Amino acid sequence: MNEAISTPRFSTLGASRIADMLQLLQDSMPIQRRVVRAGDAVYQVGQSFGCLYVVNSGFFKMVNLSGEGREQVVSLHFKGDWMGLDGISNGKYGCDAIAMDTGEIWAIRYDALIQAAVRTPALLTAMHGAMSRELRRDHDSMMSLCTLPADARVAGFLRYWADALDQRGLRTDQFTLRMTRAEIGNYLGMTLETVSRALSKLARVDVIRFTEKGRRDIHIPQIEALTDFIRDMSSPAVGAAAFH
Amino acid sequence: MNEAISTPRFSTLGASRIADMLQLLQDSMPIQRRVVRAGDAVYQVGQSFGCLYVVNSGFFKMVNLSGEGREQVVSLHFKGDWMGLDGISNGKYGCDAIAMDTGEIWAIRYDALIQAAVRTPALLTAMHGAMSRELRRDHDSMMSLCTLPADARVAGFLRYWADALDQRGLRTDQFTLRMTRAEIGNYLGMTLETVSRALSKLARVDVIRFTEKGRRDIHIPQIEALTDFIRDMSSPAVGAAAFH
DNA sequence: CGAAAGATTGAGATATTTCAACTGCGGTGG
DNA sequence: CCACCGCAGTTGAAATATCTCAATCTTTCG
- Please write the tens of the pLDDT for every residue from B26-77: 999 999 999 999 999 999 999 999 999 999 999 999 999 988 788 999 999 9
Residues 41-70 of A with CB under 7 A from strand C: none
CB distance from A146 to chain B under 8 Å? yes
Q: For residue A8, what are the contacts with CB-CB under 8 A and spacing of at least 6? A: none
pLDDT in tens, B174-230: 999 999 999 999 999 999 999 999 999 999 999 999 998 888 999 999 999 999 999
Closest CA to A159 of A92, A220, A101: A220
What mean pLDDT value characterizes chain A?
92
Instruction: Quote the CA–CA distance of B39 and A101 in Å, as a whole number.
Output: 47
The residues close to strand D, meaning Cβ under 7 A, are: A 180-182, 192-193, 195-197, 199-200, 210, 215-216, 236; B 149-151, 189-191, 193-194, 214
Query: Greater confidence, B132 or A1?
Result: B132
pLDDT of B7 above 60:
no
pLDDT at A235: 76
Fold exhibited by the domain A3-138? Jelly Rolls (2.60.120)
Does residue A75 sit at the B interface (CB-CB below 8 Å)? yes
Q: Write down the pLDDT at residue B6.
A: 44
Decide: A221 and A209 in contact? Cβ < 8 Å: yes
Q: CB of B189 within 8 A of CB of A146?
A: yes
At A68, the amino acid letter reads: E
Cβ atoms of A137 and B64 within 8 Å: the answer is: no
Q: How far apart are CA B110 and CA B99, in angstroms?
A: 21
Whether the predicted pLDDT of B8 surpasses 50: no
Option in A75, A121, A145 nearest B114 (CB): A121
Question: How many helices and strands in chain A, by DSSP H and E?
Answer: 8, 11
CB-side exposure of A114: number of CA atoms within 13 Å?
18
Spans of all domains in chain A = 3-138, 148-234
Neighbouring CB atoms inside 10 A of B112's CB total: 16
Q: Greatest CA separation found in chain B?
A: 60
Residue B21 · residue B168 · CB < 8 Å: no
For the A148-234 domain, the top CATH level (class) is: mainly alpha
pLDDT above 70: residue A72:
yes
Q: What are phi and psi of A66, to 5 degrees?
A: -95, 170
The residue with greater pLDDT, A240 or B116, is B116
- From residue A174, alpha-carbon distances to A24, A171, B23, B87, B181 in Å are 31, 7, 53, 32, 43
Distance CA B220, CA B231 (A): 17
Q: Is B1 helix (H, G, I), strand (E, B) or coil?
A: coil
Mean pLDDT (chain B) is 92
By percentage, how much of chain B surpasses pLDDT 90? 85
Indicate yes or no: CB of A86 within 8 angstroms of CB of B139: yes
A145 vs A68 pLDDT, higher one: A145
Judged against a pLDDT cut of 80, whether residue B169 lies above it is answered with yes
- The answer to whether residues A89 and B133 touch, using CB atoms and an 8 Å cutoff, is yes
Residue A12 CA and nucleotide D19 C1' are separated, in Å, by: 44
Residues in chain B: 244
Q: What is the average per-residue pLDDT within B86-103?
A: 97
Name which of A45, A95, A111, A143 to mutate to probe chain B: the one with the most chain B Cβ atoms within 10 A of its Cβ.
Answer: A143
pLDDT value, residue B207:
97
Q: Cα separation of B203 and A124, whole Å?
A: 48
DSSP assignment letter at B69: S
- pLDDT of A14 strictly over 90: no
CA distance A212 to A176: 12
How many CB atoms sit inside 10 A of residue A81's CB?
Answer: 21
Measured in residues, chain A has a length of: 244
* B3-121 CATH choice from 3.30.460.20, 2.60.40.10, 2.60.120.10, 3.90.79.10: 2.60.120.10
Q: Which residue has the higher pLDDT, A40 or A10?
A: A40
Lowest average pLDDT, out of A195-199, B1-5, B80-84, goes to: B1-5
Nearest CB to A145; choose among B68, B130, B142: B142
Query: How confident is the model at residue B4, as a pLDDT?
Result: 41
Asked whether the beta carbons of residue B72 and residue A189 sit closer than 8 angstroms, the reply is no
Helix, strand, coil distribution of chain B in percent, nearest 5: 45, 20, 35
Asked if residue A12 has pLDDT above 90, the reply is no
Locate the DSSP E strands across chain A.
32-36, 41-43, 51-57, 60-65, 71-77, 82-83, 96-99, 103-109, 174-176, 209-210, 217-219
Q: What is the pLDDT of residue A8?
A: 46
CA of A44 vs C1' of D26, distance in Å? 51
A192-196, A213-217, B50-54, B165-169: segment of lowest average pLDDT = A213-217
